[in-house]
Chains A and B, each alone.
Chain A
Amino acid sequence: MLLIRTIVRPEKKDEVLAELSTAGFNAATMVDVVGRGKQKGIKIGGMVYDEIPKTLILMVVPEDAKDTVIKMILSIAKTGTEGTFGDGKIFVSPVDEVYTISKGTQGL
């Protein structure tokens, strides 16, 4: 099982989640976060904005679904044809165990 942490633009989150849901990956958790990337924030005039609002989406998926999910997120969350700074990142980490509380069983 893998945990996929995706940071996307807040205006793209609905689209990403709707597409993932129709592809059968309904379960997701999202948090509003602020952050900056390697562009070191945005400079407008003399002001530097280094706490840019983004949405963090957490999903735990089976290992064989990883490529499908990542490809889907990449295609939707990208802005413009070449992509733009600030489109976000995807991190994948291993998950050892998953428990569903209501059933009291192990597994997604």
Chain B
Amino acid sequence: MKEIMAIVRMKKTGATKKALVAAGVAGFTAVKVLGRGNLVTDPQTIEECKEKLLSMGMDEFSEAEDTEKMVNSFLDGSRFFPRRLFTILAHDEDVPRIIEAVANANRTEYGIGDGTIFVLPVFDAVRVRTGEAGDAAIW
């Protein structure tokens, strides 16, 4: 029995839910969380991201200096971004399939910030309705 914790983009909640149903896993719990990832130190990746963000952020009302300041604060790694934390309980043999489904649904062209998947061991689970425990309680 394993617990899969997947941190994904807010916008990808729907895609993740669809992917889970397609993988044959209907049950999950999701929480809105704030998170940040490992610091990206590769200057080329940061430069690319910065250009993309600057081109998105400029309009006739915003000052170039302010926009750049804002974009820099996005990239220095200290800011927390809204994400969705999915918790899925699964049988051992289904874990690779679920990870594959979640990862494929969440990969974007932005790269950084797509999220992380953690797999944790679970000792027991009990279904409240029937009282059955162990593997029978998952689905």
- Which A residues form the contact surface with B (CB < 8 A)? 1, 3, 18, 21, 26-31, 58, 60, 93-104, 108
Known: A26-B77, A101-B8, A101-B116. 9 other contacts (CB 8 A): A3-B5, A26-B37, A29-B7, A31-B31, A94-B120, A97-B119, A98-B119, A99-B103, A103-B111
The interface bits of chain B over 104-115 (1 if a CB of A lies within 8 angstroms of the residue's CB, else 0) are 001110111111
Q: Which residues from 31 to 55 on chain B have a C-beta closer than 8 Å to any C-beta of chain A?
A: 31-39
Which residues from A are CB-within-8-Å of B17?
none
CA gap between A102 and B137 in the complex, in Å? 32
CA gap between A96 and B108 in the complex, in Å? 25
Which residues from A are CB-within-8-Å of B14?
none
The reply to whether A27 and B120 form a contact with Cβ atoms under 8 Å apart is no
Given A3-B120, A96-B119, A98-B116, answer yes or no on A29-B103 (Cβ-Cβ < 8 Å). Answer: no
Chain B, interface size: which category?
35 or more
Which residues from B are CB-within-8-Å of A58?
33, 85
Q: Which residues from 65 to 119 on chain B have a C-beta closer than 8 Å to any C-beta of chain A?
A: 77-78, 80, 83, 85, 95, 99, 102-103, 106-108, 110-119
- Which B residues form the contact surface with A (CB < 8 A)? 2, 5, 7-8, 31-39, 77-78, 80, 83, 85, 95, 99, 102-103, 106-108, 110-121
The reply to whether B113 and A30 form a contact with Cβ atoms under 8 Å apart is no
Given A101-B103, A102-B107, answer yes or no on A30-B117 (Cβ-Cβ < 8 Å). Answer: no
